[in-house]
Homo-oligomer: A and B are copies of this chain.
Amino acid sequence: MTGHVVALCGGVGGAKLAHGLANALQPEELSIVVNTGDDFQHLGLSIAPDLDSVMYALAGLSDPIRGWGRRDETWTFMDALRGLGGESWFQLGDRDLAVHVERSWRLAQGATLSEVTAHLCSALGITARVLPMSDDPVRTRVLTADGWLDFQEYFVHQQCRPSVLEFMFAGAQMAGAQKDVLAALERRDLRAIIICPSNPFVSVEPILAVPGIRSAIQQSDAPVLAVTPIIGGKAIKGPAAKMMAELGLDVSGAAVARRYADIIDGFVIDHVDPIPAPLRGVTFFSAATLMSSVADRLQLARAVLRAADTLVA
């Protein structure tokens, strides 16, 4: 089958499937919609962690060991900053910093986040279309026993230690969906909408919170398929499993599927997990969802596309 595919994703885990989809499809067949709720200002720089993770994955620049940031990274800047008594809780690699400085500078000159992202992708040789969910600021905040925390304060500075109670996507109600995102979701040749194996609470739901995106997904005739971020009761990376437990949810792909029930037609669980109890309107698929290699990413992307294609009425 042909047609356009829209992938929704957050950072590292989702970026791997986005990379697989980019390898499985022609550049013009894919739009990758990226969460910007993690974006923040740090030391005067505009940092967009999920956009960076997606770009680095697509450009083959991700660090394979650390699991975030750029490969062949060096830390001279960070060491020097520490020597000046600067804030050092957020790691800024020397190569990564070039992206933050260039993005911040272009934004300060009046470019939109979409324009800056398109420029950076082009400079990095990325042919797939990478779209921030919005050009307006949306900031994920996390309610913990200590009160509301900015996302990076929770995620990086406090290393996800506080228990979560609730999430807020500040600014989302006033944000406009990036125009190409809505246009892609409304395409007549839309083949599938794929929700990548990203954290539902802080990667996917911020995207869905931008006015127009959730309804465009619900109204689309294309099959909507999500891939589990939970394998065998654990998240491969990040706090998804910990958050589910803290929220009193079952830590399983099935629980994620239930959370997405109003927008998905299909859900891919990992082949190590049992097929969940039936869920109205959702077809379950089973696949090897752990992506340890670039080949795994392509294989999962193909499996997901095949699954989506079976869902067409």
A→B interface (CB under 8 Å): 43-45, 70, 74, 76-81, 83-86, 94-99, 101-102, 104-105, 108, 119-120, 123-124
Most chain B beta-carbon neighbours within 10 Å: one of A74, A96, A101: A101
Q: Closest 7 interchain pairs by CB?
A: A80-B98, A76-B94, A80-B95, A81-B98, A43-B105, A84-B123, A44-B105
Counting every copy of the chain, the complex holds 2
Known: A74-B76, A94-B80, A108-B44. A102 touches B86 (CB 8 A): yes
Known: A43-B101, A44-B44, A108-B44. A120 touches B74 (CB 8 A): no
Q: Please name 19 pairs of A and B residues whose Cβ atoms are closer than 8 Å in the assembled complex, sorted by A.
A: A43-B101, A44-B105, A45-B101, A74-B74, A74-B76, A76-B76, A77-B77, A77-B98, A77-B101, A80-B94, A80-B95, A80-B96, A81-B98, A83-B98, A84-B99, A84-B102, A84-B120, A86-B98, A97-B97
| Contact between A74 and B94, CB atoms less than 8 A apart | yes
Q: How far is the CB of A175 from chain B (nearest CB, A)?
A: 24
| Contact between B105 and A84, CB atoms less than 8 A apart | no
Known: A74-B74, A76-B74. A84 touches B124 (CB 8 A): yes
Given A44-B104, A77-B94, output 19 extra A-B contacts at Cβ < 8 Å.
A43-B101, A43-B104, A44-B101, A44-B105, A74-B76, A76-B76, A76-B94, A76-B95, A77-B77, A77-B95, A77-B98, A78-B98, A80-B94, A80-B96, A80-B98, A81-B98, A84-B124, A85-B123, A86-B102
B residues in contact with A78, CB < 8 Å: 98
Q: How far is the CB of A104 from chain B (nearest CB, A)?
A: 5
B residues in contact with A76, CB < 8 Å: 74, 76, 94-95
Q: How far is the CB of A140 from chain B (nearest CB, A)?
A: 23
Complex CA–CA separation, A95 to B96 (angstroms)? 15
Known: A80-B95, A94-B94, A95-B80. A86 touches B74 (CB 8 A): no
Q: How far is the CB of A69 from chain B (nearest CB, A)?
A: 12
Complex CA–CA separation, A209 to B11 (angstroms)? 53
Closest B residue by C-beta to A78: B98
Q: How far is the CB of A125 from chain B (nearest CB, A)?
A: 10
B residues in contact with A95, CB < 8 Å: 76-77, 79-80
Closest B residue by C-beta to A108: B44
